[in-house]
Structure 1
Amino acid sequence: MIKFEEKFDNQMQIWNKIISDCIANSIATAVNTALKGELSSSELNDNVLKLNMDTINLNKLLHEVNTRLYKIEKSLSFSNGRQDLFDSRVKTVEQSISQYNGFKTQIQLLENKIHTMEQQARQCNVERANIPDRRGENLISIMECLGDAIKHPLQSSEIKAVHRVPHADKNDRRPKNVKVRKQDTARQCDCRYKRVKFHTIVHIPNSVHYDGTEADSPESICNLFSSFFHSVFQPTNVSHSFCIDHIDDIDNGMFNNTIISDIQLSEADVLKELKAFGQALITFPLFSLKILP
């Protein structure tokens, strides 16, 4: 009996120990599980908070992106408007350039005309220096005497104006230069010639024939004269048939080394020359014009 009780006690102790261990393990497992659940919940909460913050940041970034896109669209719209403006300006400039293409020829003509006027000014103006300045002097008489002295006679009728010109340097004590402006007889017809022969015609022609047209009045003759000048004196030098009644024989070989420039005859100029046809004439190919004195 004693052995059985001892065995039973021992067995109970063993079972008690096993049960205690099981309970302890169960409690530990339960506590661990509970702790793990709590930790998982806190992590989830933290993750949710992080996600919320990320969402807020994303919304801010999207708002900034939308703002920038709006500004880009606005800039593109402004650029398109500026491009349209530039296109219109370029078109205007191109149209202006197309209109100015003919200006090169006009500028060249103006330069030639200025050059001719400068040549005329040089030929009509004479400036002489170191002529003593005296009170009550007669500059015209002085110029006539100087012309005779240098073998270049100068008549008072050839002088249009004469005066002294002040020096650019006010401290210059030398006598003021004398500037003489001569009469520009060549300006009557705006022509320049040299080495040409001439014939004599004693009266105005009764009629003029040019390019199939006949003129018998001063006005119509003048118009034909102008047409003749503007057709003959071109760069191509194309001559037309032009004949005037009662003209002597014409020598076409007399025009070598002839200089002609700046042909501009108005109706009044031509009529004036026609009325003076009793004087000597310069003969052109199939045409005659009064020689200048």
Structure 2
Amino acid sequence: MIAFNKKINVKRTQPECDYINALVDQKIEQQMNKWNKKMNAKRNQPEFNSTIALLQHKIDQHVSWNEQMNAAYNGQLSKLQGDISTINSTIENIVADIDRNKKSLIRNNLHKAELEKYREYMDTSHEWQFTISNRVDNIERKALQVTELLNEIKVLENKIADIEQRGREKNIEISNLPENNDEDLYKVLEELCGLMEISVNLSDIESINRVPHMDKNDQRPRNIIVKFFTKRQRDKVLQNCKPTKGFMVMGKPHMVFINEHLTIRNKLLYKQCREAAKRNDFKYTWIKHGVILIRKSDISPVFAVRTHDEIAKIQ
């Protein structure tokens, strides 16, 4: 009987199995040849038949055992191959998982780098935001200061304009009166007042002179400014003539206008007020004591306009 002492390697392949089977068959054939020789030598011995029967029984046992071993070996081999296939599949899955994890790790590192850059950007943005916020606060404070200063400037401008207008409260302004090179303005005024039937003493007049136009290209006669010693004397002249009334002067028809002497600012304001009054059907617009007065109709209240912002009242 042949004993197999070698351990089966789980890595053995099918060709190795065939080699073992061939080797076993060869040994069996050799053993059979030996037995045949012995049998031929002992064929006439009495115990031959019993020996042959015993050997045949042993051979049958050996063949049966060999078949069982082959079946067991093939079963184990098939199982090992299945296990190896499963292991290979598991390894492939693990490799795929590792590859995915590697890619995911790379992406995470990229995301981490991007997040770090974003964090740095946000930190910088916060710093810039803080700086911009401070600058905006400073600008707002300065803008508020500028607004306050502009309001103060407007107040001061209005006060200066009021002072300038009060400085003209003793004056009248005569416009569109023909101009001569050798004219005597005192005599011209005396003649004009005589036509208006106004009594004027030349001793009440502090000064009289013509003033240039704002527009140097203006071809109209220069206006005459008459300054009285007192406001009362000035008002007496204005009360006896209408500022928009025309007169015949020096034998020729001329529209001569006598008005209060206004500052340039108030003249422009008065012009804008007249235009706004015309657009909005206001009936009356006039000057009294250097103040522009507006009235929509005979029964409407009178209101004053002292600044450009107040023109909005004329609606």
With normalisation by structure 1, the TM-score equals 0.45
The structure with the larger Rg is 2
- Point out which structure has higher relative CO (alpha carbons under 8 A, 6+ apart): 1
